[in-house]
Structure 1
Amino acid sequence: MFVNPLQNNPSSEGRNPATPLQAWVRITSGNSRWVRGGSRPIGGRFNRRSSLKTKRPYATVLSCIESTTPPELLCDAELGDLSVIRSAGGVLTPIISDSIALVSTAPLILILGHQRCAIVEAAYHSLSTGETPPKNLRSIIQSLTPAYERAVKSGGAEPAETMMRHQVALTVRTLEVDPRLSPFVQSGALAVVGGYFSLDTGKIASLADPSASYL
């Protein structure tokens, strides 16, 4: 589901987002600050006492474990703004699904893929060549196989990037129909959004956003 960040936004930075649209705009506006180098001072953002008293997460983020993709920094978020869950390649496991459902009081769930994901590239290489991967990658690659199969059907010059986008889309759909989340999705109180972080530009965009020229 694509939440259009160009629609009118009734929220402000001073209020906690109450709708999926407001949460998405907060994500993208924070990311824009980070891209411009205008992030707020860390000491101000991470004031432990004030944050714990006043903050509720406005988004749950599932992202990759790679060290270059920390959602809190990419979104210029404060302590308590985001509930972040990370896994190799952003794969969705039963434990991760349970964890997302547990903290899903926020109006937005962002599934954040990223450019040149080493895990996805390793999975694509293994599945396309038939090479046996290391033991610690086998369950991860198994989880990524449906995205690989869709990438093969889609074709394209950058198959691993296509595979990542399919992985994000599959995860979005899985969560949208999760019986613990689907009533809130159907009512409009919750949106599950697929996003993509460009290592080249530093930007986060919706995978459904046609203006994201680097996708």
Structure 2
Amino acid sequence: MRTQTKEIQEHLTPADAHRILVEGNYRFVQNVKAQRNLKEQVLATSTGQFPFAVVLSCIDSRVPAELVFDQGIGDIFSVRIAGNIVNEDILGSMEFACKLAGSKIVVVMGHTRCGAVNGACNHVEMGNLTPLLNKIQPAVQKVNPSGGKMEREAIEQVTVENVKMAINEIRERSAVLSEMEKNGEIEIVGAMYSVESGEVEFL
């Protein structure tokens, strides 16, 4: 598997980038990894990087983006935060990834059995975690406007809704990324990762 170069990156379309991620996840699920020399990739990327994708995902230890998409060093920007929420710093990071570093796709990836979403659904409050979980509350309220006790299925619905709201937030709060998407330079898409099967489903 070749290391990402400027030439390879420039010739990729957003659709190509999407396909590469789908194919990578298929290999991961099948437990068949692409052959890579990571030491060579370290050397090849030492003077520059040309990732084709930026993935916003949760900090959950079961959801490492590079592994679940079977990518190597220099292939993707990985942005991780509990509950895969969006804030100003993350938007800035995504703008850097796409506008300056040339990435072709922005993926917001939630996952099943998310502790942050579960915490938001159960109104957990603790130090600096409280304002972070508050950012998930709009998704909670959309799925459960009555505020009653939530079952597992409803909590999983909140996870999907949280991803969709993050996508909308990216488009609304980042003129840079919104314009790039309208121009066909990038794709902005949501996804859900199953911690049970390892499969990624694009929304």
- The match for 2:66 is 72
Give ranges in structure 2 of 5+ residues lacking alignment: none
Could you state the TM-score of these two structures normalised by the residue count of structure 1? 0.80
Identity of aligned residues (%): 25
SS of 2:175 mapped into structure 1 = coil
Q: Deviations over 1:127-181 (max 9, x none)?
A: xxxxx61123211111111111112159986111111111100111111232111
Counterpart of 1:199, as a letter, is: V
- The match for 2:153 is 158
For the residues of structure 2 that align with 1:31 and 1:100, how far apart are their CA atoms?
22
- The match for 1:38 is 32
Q: Deviations over 1:16-53 (max 9, x none)?
A: 46211100110010111111111135644863112446
Asked if 1 retains the 8 angstrom alpha-carbon contact of 2:3 and 2:74, the reply is no
Q: CA-atom RMSD, angstroms?
A: 2.5
For the residues of structure 2 that align with 1:21 and 1:45, how far apart are their CA atoms?
29
SS of 1:135 mapped into structure 2 = coil
- The match for 1:182 is 178
Asked if 1 retains the 8 angstrom alpha-carbon contact of 2:194 and 2:200, the reply is yes
Give ranges in structure 1 of 5+ residues lacking alignment: 1-11, 127-131, 208-215
CA-CA distance at 1:96 after TM superposition:
1.1
Runs of 4+ in 1 over 6 A off after TM superposition: 154-157
For the residues of structure 1 that align with 2:13 and 2:145, how far apart are their CA atoms?
36
Could you state the TM-score of these two structures normalised by the residue count of structure 2? 0.85
SS of 1:109 mapped into structure 2 = strand
- The match for 1:113 is 110
Q: Deviations over 1:84-141 (max 9, x none)?
A: 1100110111111111112123110000100100111011011xxxxx6112321111
SS of 2:136 mapped into structure 1 = helix
For the residues of structure 1 that align with 2:39 and 2:188, how far apart are their CA atoms?
26
How do residues 63-102 of structure 1 correspond to structure 2 at under 5 angstroms? Answer: 63-102=57-96
Asked if 1 retains the 8 angstrom alpha-carbon contact of 2:58 and 2:82, the reply is yes
- The match for 1:23 is 17
Counterpart of 2:179, as a letter, is: P
Q: Size of the alignment, in residue pairs? A: 191
